[in-house]
């Protein structure tokens, strides 16, 4: 017999409550009863509709990914290296990738969206130490990021082997994630709780820094030719 559909508002309350509690206390430190109590729902609903805490946790991850579309997945495909126009497309694609990824991470950065902020904390923890049951979902979700960035790097640096390209990709991702995760202390250092007001300027810095770190000639300022005296 198929269980009755859980009312959408109750489901939403349970999922949002679970995001907040899992982010604050972790999976092992969170109980079903406290999640249900915060959601003003019966704890039996969790077992009935989500098959227990593990099932609820997996639905929480799906809900987090569904909160906003993956902008990176919508980016144009990069032609293979050697294809006419591939390098120009890879340069633009690389910039679009960093901009899209940066904007995704920066979309929830304040107290006005506590669930969004908790979702970021929860996902950061999950990326650091994935639960076995979460691995298939995580791999499915990060595939567009890995594929897009790798395709760009293969065209921009065709001389590098797979290991070097992987290290480059991890470094590029890492600097953006570090900026997002350290935003609180960065704002303290800057003495500006609203930093960065101009996100595009920060994005452009990461683009220039990354391309120059990759050794892409197009990213370096061209030398000025002095007129003959």
Per-residue pLDDT tens for 155-200? 999 999 999 999 999 999 999 999 998 999 999 999 999 999 999 9
Query: At CA 204, angle to CA 169 and CA 216, rounded to 5?
Result: 50
Please count the other Cβ atoms lying within 10 Å of the Cβ belonging to residue 80.
12
Assigned CATH topology for domain 8-66: Arc Repressor Mutant, subunit A (1.10.10)
| pLDDT computed for residue 34 by the predictor | 94
Comparing 30-34, 70-74, 89-93, the range with the smallest average pLDDT is 70-74
Work out the average pLDDT over 220-224: 73
Residue 1 has pLDDT above 70, yes or no: no
Work out the average pLDDT over 82-100: 93
Residue 98 has pLDDT above 90, yes or no: yes
Residue 226 has pLDDT above 90, yes or no: no
Work out the average pLDDT over 200-220: 93
| pLDDT computed for residue 108 by the predictor | 67
Residue 77 half-sphere exposure toward CB, CA atoms < 13 A: 3
In the chain, which segments carry CATH 1.10.10.60?
A: 8-66
SS3 56: helix
Assigned CATH topology for domain 72-217: Tetracycline Repressor; domain 2 (1.10.357)
In the chain, which segments carry CATH 1.10.357.10?
A: 72-217
Residue 132 has pLDDT above 70, yes or no: yes
The C-alpha atoms of residue 119 and residue 125 are separated, in whole angstroms, by: 10
With cut-offs at 50, 70 and 90, classify the pLDDT of residue 218. Answer: confident
Q: Could you read off the pLDDT of 15-49 as tens digits, one per residue?
A: 999 999 999 999 999 999 999 999 998 888 888 88
């Amino acid at each position: 017999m198929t269980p009755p559909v859980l009312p959408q508002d109750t489901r939403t309350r349970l999922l949002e409550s679970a995001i907040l509690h899992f982010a604050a206390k972790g999976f092992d430190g969170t109980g079903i009863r406290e999640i249900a109590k915060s959601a003003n729902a019966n704890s039996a609903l969790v077992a009935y509709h989500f098959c227990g805490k593990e099932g609820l946790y997996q639905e929480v991850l799906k809900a987090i990914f569904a909160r906003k579309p993956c902008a990176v997945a919508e980016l144009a495909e990069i032609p293979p290296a050697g294809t006419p126009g591939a390098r120009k497309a890879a340069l633009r694609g690389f910039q679009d990738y960093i901009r899209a990824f940066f904007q995704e991470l920066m979309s929830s950065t304040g107290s006005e969206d506590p669930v969004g902020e908790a979702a970021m904390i929860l996902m950061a923890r999950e990326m650091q130490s994935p639960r076995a049951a979460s691995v298939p979902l995580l791999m499915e979700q990060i595939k567009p990021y890995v594929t897009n960035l790798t395709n760009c790097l293969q065209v921009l640096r065709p001389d590098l082997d797979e290991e070097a390209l992987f290290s480059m990709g991890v470094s590029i991702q890492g600097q953006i994630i570090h900026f997002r995760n350290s935003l609180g202390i960065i704002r303290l250092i800057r003495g500006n709780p609203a930093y960065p007001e101009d996100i595009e300027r920060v994005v452009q810095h990461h683009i220039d820094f990354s391309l120059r770190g990759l050794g892409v000639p197009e990213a370096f300022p061209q030398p000025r030719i002095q007129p003959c005296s």
